[in-house]
Amino acid sequence: MFLLVVFSVFAERRATILARNRAGGGGGNGDSNSGGTNETYEGTGTVVAGWRYGDNTAGAVTNADYTTSPAPLNGSQSLLLRGTSGNGAYTILNTPAGTTQMHLRWMMIITNTVVSNSRLIWCADNAAVSQMQVQIQSSGLRVVCGTANATTVATLSAGTLYYCWADYVKGSGANATAKVAFSTSKTRPTSGNNFASLSNGTSTGDARETGPWCQDLNFSVHVGTIFDDFSMNLSQEIGDFP
């Protein structure tokens, strides 16, 4: 009976996420994220119900009502995350047990000098153990999956609007797959200098908590990023921006 109740709760949670996201514009209107989450930060005072957000210390900033130029990136508001030295600012959505894939799409502007060894995206299991991260490394985007990583040849610049994508499929050993891509256009790169992928990731955990997490991993400087139109899909890769 207990197992039946637990399964029903998880099934209801997954259905709630998908239904809410379709209502929020995840599908239709030419969007390639049919049936997925699409957070546009247009609410007042918080992000969509179900997300948790905050920062690790006083001085870090998590502002889902951000309108100061160059925001908004889309609509009337964006999300600003600014970590302090060694402390992050984040918004995280928990997903049900059995979430073996995570596919993401977002737009962003880095607000200060591009800092290598800084985190942008967090994807972890239910024990908060990282399964996939998107980081800035060597001024490019790097996807990290356990002990494996892959980095784009193309590099980022502060103050530029980027359209970004990332994917994670858990493995059973050294066979997890992950991808990352970015562009100044709405078309998703699938090869070339703005794309990187790996197929030897050592992550074997479910994707239970995922979202933007802005933090300098060198614990030395402030890192700020404006996010918008953050999309998530639990079963398929997300294509071009509409």
Q: Rounded CA gap, 201 and 178, in Å? A: 7
pTM: 0.85
Q: Is 227 helix (H, G, I), strand (E, B) or coil?
A: strand
Nearest 10 degrees: Cα torsion 36, 54, 179, 31: 30
Task: Compute φ and ψ for 56, nearest 5 degrees.
Answer: -85, -15
pLDDT score recorded for residue 16: 33
Written as one letter, the residue type at 136 is I
pLDDT of residue 132: 98
Burial class (CB in 10 A: 0-12, 13-18, 19+), 10: middle
Burial of 117 (0-12, 13-18, 19+ CB in 10 A): middle
160, two tokens = 């530029």
> How does pLDDT run across 189-231, given as a tens digit for each residue?
999 999 999 999 999 999 999 999 988 887 666 678 999 999 9
Query: pLDDT at residue 6 above 60?
Result: no
Among the residue ranges 1-15, 37-51, 55-69, 116-130, the one predicted with the least confidence is 1-15
Q: Decide: helix, strand or coil at residue 210.
A: strand
> How far is the C-alpha of 183 from the C-alpha of 8, rounded, in Å?
40
Please report, in angstroms and rounded to a whole number, the separation of the first and last CA atoms in the chain.
45
Residue 4's pLDDT is 35
For the segment 109-131, the average pLDDT, to the nearest whole number, is 91
What is the tens place of the pLDDT at every residue in 146-195? 999 999 999 999 999 999 999 999 999 999 999 999 999 999 999 999 99
Q: Tell me the mean pLDDT in the region 119-133.
A: 95
DSSP 14-78: HHHHHHHHHHTTSSBTTBS-TTSEEE---SSSS-STTEEEEESSBTBEEEEEE-STT--SSTT-E
Higher pLDDT, 44 or 6: 44
- Whole-angstrom distance, CA of residue 102 vs CA of residue 12: 19
**CA angle, corner 240, sides to 236 and 242, nearest 5?**
115
Per-residue pLDDT at 62 exceeds 80: yes
Q: Name the fold adopted by 2-233.
A: Jelly Rolls (2.60.120)
Q: Where are the domains of the chain?
A: 2-233
Q: Is 161 exposed, middle or buried (0-12, 13-18, 19+ CB in 10 A)?
A: middle
Distance CA 42, CA 5 (A): 34
pLDDT at 59: 72
pLDDT at 66: 93
